C-alpha cells in the first residue's frame, strides 16, 4: 500500500479508503484515478491476513449443507455464492452427512476464528452451534433448531396447500402424501401443511407414508400406498427425488400416471421435465432463500432473533403427471 501511495502521490490512508469505497472520502476524480492506476500498474492486492489482524474480520463465512448429491442444494449454494460475490466475501462450504460426524468437526474448525459467520443447512445438534457468548453469528436454513430462533425458512405448508389445491381442482378427493423423515423439520412442516390443507377441505388427512428423501424412499412409500385399499388417485411427494421413485413404483405395478394416479412434488428441478411422464411440481423460491439468508447473516447481531419465512414466489409448474381422476372415482 505504501508503494501505491508513493506512485499516486497520496497518503496511505487515501489508498485504503479508495480501495474500501469509503463514501465519506472527498477527493478529486483525478486523484482517485491516479490511485486506481497505481493499483493496476503495481498489481496490488490487499493482504487478507494482515487486514484480518487489524479488523478482527476474515471476510469469510461458512456454509454447512446436508450433502452435495441433492441438486436443490446446488441451486441454493449458487445463489449464496453470487450474493457473497456482491459483498466481496469468500464462502467455505462443507457437508455433514447424517452419522458421519463431519458436522461437529466442520463446525469446530469454523468456530476457531476462521469465519465471521455461519449458515447452517444440515441437521445439527444445538450444542454444536456457537453460543451467544462467542459472538459468532449464524443462521439456520430451512430448519428450526430447538432452543434457537435464528432461521430463514421456506413456506412449506403453503407449498403443500398449493399442491393439494391443484389436485382438488382437478377433482381428486383420495389424496395421499409421501412424507420425508420425521427427523427433518422441513418434512414435519410439509406433513403439517398437508394435513391442515386436507382437513380444511373435509378430506381424509391420514393417508401418509414416510420415507427417506431419496428415490428409493419414494419408491418404497409409493408401493405401500398402492397396496392399500382404496388406492389413492393422487399423491403429493415431499420432494422430486421421492416423486422419481414413486413414478418408478407406479410403472412397475402397472399403474399409469396420470391416468390412474396423479403425482406432484414439492420443489422443482430441471430433471422434472425429463421424467416419464414429466413431473408436475411446486416451485419454491430457492435462490431467494439463499440470498436472504446471507443478507440476514450480515445484518443481524449474534444474539438477535430471526424468524423469517420466504414465501414468494411459490407456484405450480404444470407438466404431464397430474390430471383428473379416473371416471367414477
Cis peptide before 277 (omega within 30 of 0): yes
Dihedral Cα 71, 73, 79, 82, nearest 10 deg = -90
Do 246 and 237 contact (CB within 8 A), yes or no? yes
What confidence tens digit (pLDDT) does each residue in 28-53 have? Answer: 999 999 999 998 898 887 665 455 44
DSSP 3-state percent helix, strand, coil across the chain (nearest 5): 45, 15, 40
92 SS3 class? strand
pTM confidence score? 0.80
C-alpha of 294 from chain center: 11
> Domains of the chain by range and CATH?
2-46 (1.10.260.40), 58-154+286-310 (3.40.50.2300), 156-283 (3.40.50.2300)
Q: What is the pLDDT along the chain (329 residues), one digit of tens a residue?
A: 889 999 999 998 998 888 877 878 889 999 999 999 998 898 887 665 455 445 446 688 989 998 887 888 889 999 999 999 998 898 988 887 666 666 777 777 776 667 888 999 988 878 888 876 677 889 999 999 988 999 999 999 999 999 999 999 999 999 999 999 998 999 999 999 999 999 999 999 999 999 999 999 999 999 999 999 999 999 999 999 999 999 999 999 999 999 999 999 999 999 999 999 999 999 999 999 999 999 999 999 888 999 999 998 999 999 999 999 998 66
209 SS3 class? strand
What confidence tens digit (pLDDT) does each residue in 97-131 have? Answer: 666 666 777 777 776 667 888 999 988 878 888 87
Write a three-state SS string for 250-315.
HHHCCCCCCCCCEEEEEECCCHHHHCCCCCEEEECCHHHHHHHHHHHHHHCCCCCCEEEEECCCCE
Amino acid at each position: 500500500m505504501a508503494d501505491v501511495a508513493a506512485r499516486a502521490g497520496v497518503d496511505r490512508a487515501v489508498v485504503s479508503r479508495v480501495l474500501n469505497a469509503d463514501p465519506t472520502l472527498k477527493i478529486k476524480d483525478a486523484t482517485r484515478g491516479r490511485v486506481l492506476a497505481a493499483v493496476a500498474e503495481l498489481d496490488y492486492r490487499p493482504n487478507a491476513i494482515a487486514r484480518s489482524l487489524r479488523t478482527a474480520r476474515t471476510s469469510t463465512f461458512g456454509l454447512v449443507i446436508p450433502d452435495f448429491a441433492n441438486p436443490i442444494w446446488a441451486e441454493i449454494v449458487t445463489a449464496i455464492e453470487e450474493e457473497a460475490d456482491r459483498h466481496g466475501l469468500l464462502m467455505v462450504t462443507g457437508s455433514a452427512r447424517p452419522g458421519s460426524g463431519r458436522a461437529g468437526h466442520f463446525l469446530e474448525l469454523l468456530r476457531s476464528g476462521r469465519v465471521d459467520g455461519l449458515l447452517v443447512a444440515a441437521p445439527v445438534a444445538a450444542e454444536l452451534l456457537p453460543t451467544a457468548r462467542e459472538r459468532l453469528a449464524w443462521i439456520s436454513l430451512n430448519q428450526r433448531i430447538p432452543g434457537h430462533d435464528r432461521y430463514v425458512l421456506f413456506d412449506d405448508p403453503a407449498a403443500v396447500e398449493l399442491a393439494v389445491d391443484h389436485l382438488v381442482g382437478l377433482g381428486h378427493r383420495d389424496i395421499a402424501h409421501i412424507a420425508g423423515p420425521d427427523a427433518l423439520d422441513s418434512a414435519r412442516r410439509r406433513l403439517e401443511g398437508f394435513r391442515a390443507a386436507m382437513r380444511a377441505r373435509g378430506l381424509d388427512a391420514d393417508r401418509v407414508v414416510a420415507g427417506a428423501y431419496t428415490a428409493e424412499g419414494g419408491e418404497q412409500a409409493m408401493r405401500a400406498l398402492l397396496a392399500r385399499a382404496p388406492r389413492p388417485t393422487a399423491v403429493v411427494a415431499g420432494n422430486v427425488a421421492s416423486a422419481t421413485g414413486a413414478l418408478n413404483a407406479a410403472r412397475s405395478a402397472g399403474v399409469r400416471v396420470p391416468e390412474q394416479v396423479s403425482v406432484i412434488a414439492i420443489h422443482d428441478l430441471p430433471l422434472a421435465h425429463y421424467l416419464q411422464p414429466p413431473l408436475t411440481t411446486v416451485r419454491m423460491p430457492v435462490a431467494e432463500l439463499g440470498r436472504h439468508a446471507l443478507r440476514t447473516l450480515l445484518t443481524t447481531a449474534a444474539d438477535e432473533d430471526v424468524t423469517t419465512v420466504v414465501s414468494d414466489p411459490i407456484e405450480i409448474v404444470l407438466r404431464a403427471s397430474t390430471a383428473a381422476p379416473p371416471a367414477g372415482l
